[in-house]
Amino acid sequence: MAAVIPAGARRPFALSWQTRTIALLVFLYAVYAALQLDVSPARVRAGLDHAGTFLARMFPPNFEKPDTLIKGIVESLEIAVLASVLGIFLALPVGLLGARNLMPAWVSWPARAIVALCRSLHPVIVAILFVKAVGFGALAGILALTVASIGFIGKLFTESIEEISLKQVEAVRATGASFVNVITFGVLPQVFARFVGFATYQFDSNLRNSTMVGIVGAGGVGGTLFSAFQRFDYDFVSAILLTLIAIIMLGEILAGVVRAVLLDNLGFDRILQRRMAAARGLGSSNGGKP
């Protein structure tokens, strides 16, 4: 039997007229924007046809240029690692100074302005600026991705600090601890787990972005990828993309290992045992089928 809703009572999950009006306006603007940008079903169909032809030319991938491929991949890895390390170490003090629950306004607002400035431009735009400043090569890519890392990690680190419980901070202060000890024992333990997650994600992001900044001459495999596109060497493009995907997946596994070591205090033997146990559990749940 259906429930009877009293007269005048509002239906659960019912949308207000303000919400409906906003949704309608957003929909109408989306239609208007599509028309202004010449987005049409005909263009979409033509794009799908071209995409099919392009994908057909990408396979099978061509791994017959290992020296060129490995050189670009190694340079991208070096750019990502250096930019991540620099960005993390610089984002720590900036994020700490930007926390409004720990710092006075005259300290927190300039720090937050630095974070906002680092986040305001896309890494490719920043890479172009650094290419003009320091010339072509990996240095421009490292500097560009360091700026991006400061913006991302600094913002999330600041927000994490502002969400901590101040009771632990006050307890450490009550012992007469110095400011450094208050931060070390009262603040960092509450945000360390999230900070590790931010750092590992930023490394993945820097590895992906190192390809993009390479297209504008900031080092890495991006330059190799762009040259392959210009030569219509699409099977080599496929080889580069597949290699990047494999490295990103490997990086995800390594990030899990780092979290287990830093957060769970596990040794590599325990991590391996966990992985093997999880694999056996997955196999048994599938009835032994692959």
Residue 198 in any domain: the answer is: yes
Distance CA 97, CA 93 (A): 6
If pLDDT is split at 50, 70 and 90, which confidence band does 272 have? low
Q: Considering the domain boundaries, does residue 213 fall inside one?
A: yes
Q: Which two tokens stand for residue 213?
A: 């900044």
pLDDT value of position 275: 55
Domain-embedded: residue 56: no
User: Do the domain assignments include residue 150?
Assistant: yes
Could you tell me if residue 23 is inside a domain?
A: no
pLDDT of amino acid 143: 92
Tell me the percentage of the chain whose pLDDT exceeds 70. 85
In this prediction, residue 147 has a pLDDT band, given cuts at 50, 70 and 90, of very high
Residue 84 in this model has a pLDDT that exceeds 70: yes
Of 75, 45, 199, 85, nearest to 138 by C-alpha is: 75
Q: Which of 57-66, 90-99, 166-175, 255-264 has the lowest mean pLDDT?
A: 255-264
The answer as to whether 10 is a domain residue is no
> Is residue 273 over pLDDT 80?
no
In a domain, residue 72? The reply is: yes
Asked if the model's pLDDT at residue 150 lies above 60, the reply is yes
* Rounded distance between C-alpha atoms, residue 93 and residue 90, angstroms: 6
CA 71 to chain centre: 24
Q: Which of 215, 208, 213 is nearest to 241 (CA)?
A: 208
Q: Give yes or no for a cis peptide into 290 (omega within 30° of 0).
A: no
Give a yes or no: residue 28 inside a domain.
no
**Pairwise CA distance, residues 169 & 226, whole Å:** 51
The pLDDT tens digits of the residues spanning 39-78 come to: 778 877 877 878 878 788 888 888 888 888 888 888 888 9
pLDDT band (50, 70, 90) for residue 3: low
Mean pLDDT in the chain?
A: 81
pLDDT > 80? residue 10: no
Is the pLDDT at 8 greater than 60, yes or no? no
Which amino acid is residue 176, in one-letter code? G
For residue 279, pLDDT over 80 is answered with no
> For the whole model, what pTM was predicted?
0.75
In this structure, what CATH number is given to the domain that contains residue 174?
1.10.3720.10
Greatest mean pLDDT among 1-5, 175-179, 286-290 lies in 175-179
Tally of domains within the chain: 1
Q: Are 139 and 208 in contact (CB under 8 A)?
A: no
Which segments of 30-174 are extended strands (E)? none
pLDDT grade for 1, boundaries at 50, 70 and 90: very low
Q: Which domain holds residue 160?
A: 66-271
